């Protein structure tokens, strides 16, 4: 793939993977991106997953066409991007390794060497000239590891953005960017919104015409769309108006209450209602929806004087990913000592600027006339 006259894509598509990072379902696979700048000197950006080293090295060799690379720039040390550093060095032993100081510490941990004889430590603001391509390095700690740097090429106005602006999915599959980029961002990076926002601020000072991430497609058109979405995501803002309902149900009574609430919300003009059965849906997609919408209803049964396990996992995941700035409605079901709403409220205390609204709907086994009134009132409150 040609990015510009001098910048070539040498990454790979992975259709063998089923779970990215051992937890995120990726039905359309993953792309591990790598790039080469051909100038008076040659720089290769990042490697790929260990299972694709041979294919990647072949791609690199084809682009090099007999030339020798001068630099291997490692922006991020996760193994899906750094696993083939040693294989590259064995193939091109004269290459200098460019990375942050923390990245070299990690190389010692991963590979048993920190390349002290061939390394070039890149710090914030450092420059590297390839000829007409002048590279500058921007520190991006905790987006989403501490060693991350990104690189700006002032000649072609390209930002090599590491894991920022990435998405799930291989590049030979057509799919909506926002959906899988949102799920990727909140699952992988979402906890570190403040750090990602800092990177956005630094990027805003650059004249960027193309973004080359380590996952997902190269972005070169309508960059304002992608930047605006990232600004919303990194500040935990509301992307879409509507209500997301997440629920668990054992014998169907809580599900009936949720279905009734969804109907009431639509009747009252709620622009969008999305419902997630936490026992059956992709948990990462439920988390994505909770970050996308400004209003969320949590509905679950009391279970062992606590909440149902899938709901506990869901709220814990939201809290771990720094979920905030949301309005929450609660529904609980319990045949005797109902504690679910109290437990959920306690779990949400660590989520900044999160407001739990009245009424709390308390179901005792099955829906009652009083519950119908409560659900109608909750729908009215959530539609304000």
> For position 74, what pLDDT does the model report?
98
The pLDDT tens digits for 153-172 are: 999 999 999 999 999 999 99
CATH T-level topology, domain 241-382: Rossmann fold (3.40.50)
Q: How confident is the model at residue 131 (pLDDT cuts 50, 70, 90)?
A: very high
Give the residue range(s) of CATH 3.40.50.360 domains in the chain.
241-382
The tens digit of pLDDT for each residue in 227-259 reads: 999 999 999 999 999 999 999 999 999 999 999
The residues, any chain, with a CB within 8 Å of residue 250's CB and separated by 6 or more, are: 301, 303, 308
> Taking 90 as the threshold, does the pLDDT of residue 195 lie above it?
yes
The whole-number average pLDDT for the span 78-85 is: 97
Largest CA distance in the chain: 79
pLDDT for the residue numbered 152: 98
Burial of 246 (0-12, 13-18, 19+ CB in 10 A): buried
Segment 336-378, tens digit of pLDDT? 989 999 999 999 999 999 999 999 999 999 999 999 999 999 9
Quick one: tokens of 340?
A: 């679910």
Helix, strand or coil, per DSSP, at residue 136: strand
Q: What is the CATH T-level fold of the domain 7-234, as seen in this structure?
A: Metallo-beta-lactamase; Chain A (3.60.15)
CATH 3.60.15.10 maps onto the chain at 7-234
Write down the mean pLDDT value for the chain.
Answer: 96
- Helical spans, DSSP H, in the chain: 53-64, 79-82, 85-91, 101-111, 177-184, 193-204, 223-234, 253-267, 283-292, 309-320, 340-347, 369-382
Looking at residue 1, its pLDDT comes to 82
């Amino acid at each position: 793939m040609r990015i510009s006259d001098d910048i070539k894509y040498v990454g790979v598509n992975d259709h063998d993977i089923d779970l990215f990072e051992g937890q995120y379902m990726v039905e359309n696979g993953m792309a591990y991106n790598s790039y080469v700048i051909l100038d008076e000197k040659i720089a290769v950006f990042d490697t790929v997953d260990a299972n694709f080293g041979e294919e990647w090295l072949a791609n690199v060799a084809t682009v090099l066409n007999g030339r020798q690379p001068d630099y291997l720039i490692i922006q991020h040390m996760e193994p899906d991007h750094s696993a083939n550093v040693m294989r590259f060095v064995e193939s091109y032993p004269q290459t200098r390794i460019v990375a942050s100081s923390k990245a070299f510490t990690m190389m010692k941990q991963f590979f048993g060497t920190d390349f002290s004889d061939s390394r070039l430590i890149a710090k914030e603001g450092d420059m590297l000239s390839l000829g007409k391509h002048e590279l500058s390095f921007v520190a991006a700690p905790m987006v989403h590891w501490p060693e991350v740097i990104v690189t700006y090429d002032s000649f072609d106005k390209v930002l090599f953005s590491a894991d920022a602006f990435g998405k799930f999915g291989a590049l030979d599959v057509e799919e909506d960017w926002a959906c899988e980029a949102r799920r990727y961002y909140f699952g992988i990076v979402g906890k570190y919104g403040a750090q990602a926002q800092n990177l956005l601020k630094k990027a805003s000072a650059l004249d960027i015409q193309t973004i080359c991430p380590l996952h997902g497609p190269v972005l070169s058109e309508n960059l304002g769309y992608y930047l605006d979405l990232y600004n919303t995501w990194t500040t935990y803002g509301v992307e879409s108006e509507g209500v997301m309902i997440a629920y668990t149900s054992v014998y169907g009574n809580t599900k009936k209450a949720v279905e009734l609430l969804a109907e009431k919300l639509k009747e009252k003009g709620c622009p969008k209602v999305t419902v997630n059965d936490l026992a059956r849906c992709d948990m990462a997609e439920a988390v994505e929806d909770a970050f996308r919408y400004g209003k969320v209803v949590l509905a679950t049964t009391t279970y062992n004087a606590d909440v149902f396990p899938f709901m506990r996992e869901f709220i814990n995941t939201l809290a771990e990913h720094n979920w905030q700035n949301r309005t929450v409605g609660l529904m609980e079901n319990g045949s005797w000592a109902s504690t679910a709403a109290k437990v959920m409220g306690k779990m949400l205390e660590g989520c900044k600027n999160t407001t739990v609204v009245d009424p709390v709907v308390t179901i005792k086994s099955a829906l009652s006339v009083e519950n119908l009134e409560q659900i109608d009132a909750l729908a009215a409150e959530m539609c304000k």
